[in-house]
Amino acid sequence: MEKQVITWIQSFYKDSEGVFMQQAFDNDTPWISILLIAISALAFLILWYLSRIAMRVTVHSLASRSKTMLDDYLVSQKVFSSLAHIVPLTALYTFLSISLFAYPTLFDIASKLIDIIIIITVWITVNRTISAINMFFAEHEKFKDKPIDSYFQIFKIFMGIVFFLLILSEITGQSPASFLAYFGAFSAVILLVFKDTILGFVGSIQLSANDMIRKGDWITMERYGADGNIEEINLTTVKVRNFDRTITTIPTYSFISDSFNNWRGMEESQGRRIKRSLYIEADSICTASDSLIKTLKESQLLGPFLHEEIERIDTYNQKHELDQQPNRRKFTNIGLYRRYIEFYLKNHPGVNSDMTLMVRQLQPTDKGLPLEVYCFSLSKVWEEYELLMADLFDHFFSVVQDFELYTFESPSGNDIQKLKS
């Protein structure tokens, strides 16, 4: 095509006898090139505009009618828009070969520049395609909680290195394979520059293989002050949305090298643990009085238990002749209170009675005798869990004096004022 166009132009420089006028043609060559460049630029702009319009109309109509979401993500990432640039750029190469027929050196420079622009355009198109595929898989139910972003980022880095080598090859005129030898020589520098990326890649593989974290997991990591849900898992960082709505960014490899709490196991279990203690004054602990036992025998929770226990204890004491002995078996107010809490928890609709449930005494301290409540709530929602725990201990504190017991409390200003008066 180039030779045909040049022959056609030269036909205008023949005299009446058909002899080619070389001198006149050489004098007009710069003006001919300028005119051809202007025509080439105009043709390039028209072709660029038409290719974008054709791509937009064709692809967008097909994407809107298809059932899959992949093409919608390709459109949203402007993959086809960048792909439409390749055809005009390829045509521009032909246009310039005609326009600069008299300037081969200038054409070589222009052709290299066009080749580099085409390589960069393909690079951008590939990156956008990878991003669209990443978005497609991220919305898939099977991959929603998987750290797939890390793998797509690695693929982007790999493709970036490939296209960078192609650009260097185009500039220098050497084979891309020859540059790999230089990369071997600079491997130490490369490892230093991409240290975080390599560690993040290794960490993301281990996190994924061992299923240590997922998107949406509630984690706690004291070193970084993180306490919230994982929003994003990247190649080098993990983004955590804390419960105070702040964002903490943690290096991916830190989840391999440091300790952290993942509350997913609790959320997947049948309940959420309640573990809290009441501190009972040791001076208030004593043998249960007859009036207390009589009152509790009429209660719905402890009534059946007390009738059976009283009969069993009396039988034991009579059998061993301990009716009048100090070491006879008898009820204590702390024991009855402990049993009351246990029966109360077993009958509460918000407590999972199928899981571990106990009320136990811990080692006495200078604050009294700790009476620990250990059970699991049915609801794992934070607000409902806190409300249930508050309701339980509201009740336990309110009935403690009914068992002739007192909870420990450090002296306050009001206590001192009462002592003075």
Using DSSP bridges, classify how beta strands 272-280 and 369-377 pair: parallel, antiparallel or unpaired. Answer: antiparallel
pLDDT of residue 4 exceeding 60 = no
CA–CA separation, 331 and 61 (whole Å):
83
CA–CA separation, 360 and 340 (whole Å):
12
For residues 262-275, give the mean pLDDT. Answer: 86
Q: Any idea which of 139-148, 193-202, 252-261, 350-359 has the lowest mean pLDDT? A: 139-148
pLDDT for res 301: 85
Question: Residue 276: pLDDT band by 50, 70, 90 thresholds?
Answer: very high
In a domain, 145, yes or no: no
Q: Bridge-partner residues for 272, per DSSP?
A: 377
Judge if 361 and 402 occupy the same domain.
Answer: yes
Judge if 278 and 264 occupy the same domain.
Answer: no
Q: What is the residue range of 413's domain?
A: 272-420
Judge if 123 and 9 occupy the same domain.
Answer: yes
Q: How many Cβ atoms are within 10 Å of 163's Cβ, its own excluded? A: 17
Helix (H) or strand (E) holding 372: strand 369-377
What is the DSSP code (8-state) at residue 378?
A: S
73, 197, 238 from 130: Cα distances, Å: 10, 18, 20
Judge if 291 and 260 occupy the same domain.
Answer: no
Predicted TM-score (pTM) of the model is 0.55
Per-range mean pLDDT, top range of 73-77, 201-205, 276-280, 296-300 = 276-280
Q: Give tens-digit pLDDT for 184-229.
A: 666 667 677 777 777 777 777 777 777 788 888 889 998 898 999 9
Judge if 211 and 313 occupy the same domain.
Answer: no
List, as one string, the DSSP characters of 47-106: HHHHHHHHHHHHHHHHHHH-S-SHHHHHHHTTHHHHHTTHHHHHHHHHHHHHHTTT-HHH
Q: Cβ distance 302 to 336 under 8 Å?
A: yes
What is the DSSP code (8-state) at residue 279?
A: E
141, 158, 225 from 204: Cα distances, Å: 20, 17, 21
Please choose, from the candidates 165, 42, 148, 158, the residue with its C-alpha nearest in 3D space to the C-alpha of residue 95: 42
CA–CA separation, 252 and 230 (whole Å):
12
* Residue with token string 């699991």: 376
In a domain, 112, yes or no: yes
Residue 157 buriedness (CB in 10 A; 0-12 / 13-18 / 19+): middle
Q: Give tens-digit pLDDT for 363-409.
A: 999 889 999 999 999 988 889 999 999 999 999 999 999 998 999 88
- Which of 218, 237, 268 is where one domain is finished? 268
Question: Residue 102: pLDDT band by 50, 70, 90 thresholds?
Answer: low
**Assigned token pair, 213:** 């974290």
Number of domains observed in the structure of the chain: 3
